[in-house]
Amino acid sequence: MSALTFTLKTQPAQRIDMSPLTPDTLAGKSAAGVAAIELHCGNRRLRTDALFDIAGDDAADIVIQNSCGKLDFIGSHMKSGRITVHGGAGSWLGFQMKKGEIILNGDADAYAAAELAGGMLLVNGNVGDFLASAQPGNRKGMKGGLVIVSGNAGDRVGDQMRRGIVLIEGNVGAYCASRMLAGTIGVMGSVGDYVGYGMRRGTLLLFSTPRLPATLQDCGSHTLPFLNLMFKSFQGLPSKFAGINKNRVRRYAGDLANDGKGEILVFA
Amino acid sequence: MIVNGVQIDDTFAEAFGMRGTRVIITAQNLKWANIAATAMTGFATSVIACGVEAGIERELDPSETPDGRPGISVLLFAMSSAVLMKQLETRMGQCILTCPTTAAFSGIDEGYPEITRIALSKNLRFFGDGFQISKQFNGKRYWRVPVMDGEFLCEETTGMIRSVGGGNFLILAESQPQALAACEAAIEAMKKIPNVIMPFPGGVVRSGSKVGSKYKALIASTNDAFCPTLKGITNTELSPEIESVMEIVIDGLSDPDIRKAMRAGIAAACELGAANGIKRISAGNYGGKLGQFHFKLREIMNGAAA
């Protein structure tokens, strides 16, 4: 069996909802059945084979070739298998994903890993705003799983994030870990203003001291044993975080305007 | 059956079904891991009055522990899961939480047919008074409880399994020092066997008991048949040359673990042999009606069931 490959024929003028094309929904479908699936494209519904050249038959291993930033909801609600995307991805990449693996070789737009509940999202590129956050109106963002971004991320990373781990090797924008409820975010590069704004609980791991709001307070330098455990669990991940083995940090706690049980740990 | 001049009695040890658990304790160095483990397994020789029978299983290399620090693995056994859970909680709270630099982790996660998760820090976390922090790595939940030396890190639960307690054998010798020397040799050998502990002081018990007593309030009393000073006035099990008897009790995570430990211990005692005053190896039982597990000495020494 070879990977079920969708190669985008032309760059679409409208955005395409890719949520019907996941390993779970395609499992057991014939080639004709897959081709006949209708996808929302702007205000129209188009057959999958009108948009993509389709090859291969292993629905558990989906590959999207020639992808672009107009393909939204890739891997949405996915529960198993793997999706590999070559090219860009639109918004809502891995939205409410429960299990499985998405690998994006390119950049993603806003709301990547929004309300992600499990599995792994690996982005070899940059992502837009609201990574691992909640959809507008909802109270909880990412609820579990692992997100790795090799590039940069936009504003509001981990907004209302509830559980899970987000590792970003590049820089992030403003309001990182805003309204965070729990979980862990690691950022190797720089962070923008208003970091930890409204943070309730959770851990933000940084490699350089950011400009902190007054409601995040210095708790001093410490050697924290849980960091050994955490970095041990990162070993083997396809990320620079896999090679870290430090446990000496400066601890800033807050946001005191919102219960103040969150923490920003900065490596000494 | 005679091994190196030592008679192995045609009898069996009678053991009981228990609940057992393992906890991995780590600390800044082995010294403090040992201090914590010793405190946690203190006053835990017999379920009769201690609630649990507990002991140190072995030392752990930093490469074997979850947080990469030196550690000690501890085994605890009780007659019921409720007692084990209660004892684990109090001992964790008073001996591990209090001990500087320690952390504690689950010691049983797989490899047994039926594993029940019981609280390790699930309730202890409330000591953090709201400042405790939960972290999940690789599907396991840990609690970080702020304490005066920094942070107490502890896994939320550990595994509890059905296990075996009360495996035993008796060493009968011509003198007290010789009996003790044989016990020390046996314990040394048995410490190398995984999944078992010998819960009594130094692994050895000198006050073996029989069921019942002339006093109505007591359910057990001295095993007069094996008391050398009563040889002439009781229905003795001892021949004239026996002057001292000591017992080694073994609790293990499974029936085969106890067999291995008994075999290693008896073999070590027999190695000293009749030349060093070791005359007989026997075992304690209650006629075979009370305990579900019977460990026949000769079968074990033949290696048939090891």
- From residue A256, give the alpha-carbon distance in Å to each of A156, A198, A231, B26, B294: 19, 8, 28, 33, 63
Predicted confidence (pLDDT) per residue in B273-296, tens digit: 999 999 999 999 888 888 999 999
**What would the pLDDT profile of B105-134 be if each residue is shown by its tens digit?**
999 999 999 999 999 999 999 999 999 999
**Regarding beta strands A203-206 and A163-168, do their DSSP bridges make them parallel or antiparallel, or are they unpaired?**
unpaired
Compute the Cα dihedral for B230, B235, B238, B241 and give only its sign.
Answer: positive
Q: Is the pLDDT of residue B306 over 70?
A: no
Q: Which of B170, B129, B198, B206 is nearest to B278 (CA)?
A: B170
Per-residue pLDDT tens for B159-193?
A: 999 999 999 999 999 999 999 999 999 999 999 99
B-chain CB neighbours of A182 within 8 Å are 134
Domains of chain A: total? 1
CB distance A81 to A100 below 8 Å: yes
Establish if A190 belongs to a structural domain.
Answer: yes
Give the residue from B128, B161, B194 where a domain finishes: B161
Residue-level pLDDT at B303: 77
Which candidate from A184, A201, A225 shows the least CB-CB separation from B153? A225
B269 pLDDT band (50/70/90 cuts)? Answer: very high
pLDDT of residue A63: 98
Structural domain of residue A167, as residue ranges?
110-267
Q: Are residues B138 and B232 located together in one domain of the fold?
A: no
Q: Which residues of A touch B65 (CB under 8 A)?
A: none
Asked if B151 and A228 come within 8 Å (Cβ–Cβ), the reply is: no
Supply the range of the domain harboring residue B220: 2-14+164-302
Are residues A232 and B67, on separate chains, in Cβ contact within 8 Å?
A: yes
Residue B229 in this model has a pLDDT that exceeds 90: yes
The torsion defined by the Cα of A175, A177, A178 and A179, in degrees rounded to 10, comes to 180
In a domain, A66, yes or no: no
- pLDDT over 70 for what percent of chain B? 99
Q: What is the mean pLDDT of residues B81-96?
A: 98
- Please tell me whether residues B257 and B171 are part of one structural domain: yes
Give the pLDDT score at A27: 95
Q: Do B136 and A163 touch (CB under 8 A)?
A: yes
In this prediction, residue A115 carries a pLDDT of: 98
State the pLDDT at residue A268. Answer: 80
| Whole-number pLDDT of residue B211 | 87
Residue B219 has pLDDT above 90, yes or no: no
Given B114, B139, B161, the domain boundary residue is B161
Encode pLDDT of A68-88 as tens digits.
Answer: 999 999 999 999 999 999 999
Contact at 8 Å (CB) between A179 and A200?
Answer: yes
Domain count, chain B: 2
Q: Residue A95 — very low, low, confident or very high, per pLDDT cuts 50/70/90?
A: very high
Q: What CATH number is attached to the domain comprising B253?
A: 3.30.70.520
Long-range pairs for B34-38: beta carbons < 8 A, 24 or more residues apart: B34/B59, B34/B72, B35/B99, B36/B72, B36/B95, B36/B96, B36/B99, B36/B102, B37/B72, B37/B74
Q: Which residues of A touch B103 (CB under 8 A)?
A: 225
Q: Can you give the pLDDT at residue B289?
A: 83
Kindly report the pTM of this predicted structure: 0.93
3-state helix, strand, coil in chain B (%, to 5): 30, 35, 35
Residue A46 domain flag: no
Percent residues over pLDDT 90 in chain B: 93
pLDDT at B305 (0 to 100):
41
Q: Do B144 and A226 lie within an 8 Å CB cutoff?
A: yes
Please report whether residue A71 resides in a domain.
no
Complex ipTM: 0.92
Of residues A268 and B93, more confidence is placed in B93
Of all residues in chain A, what percent carry a pLDDT higher than 70? 100
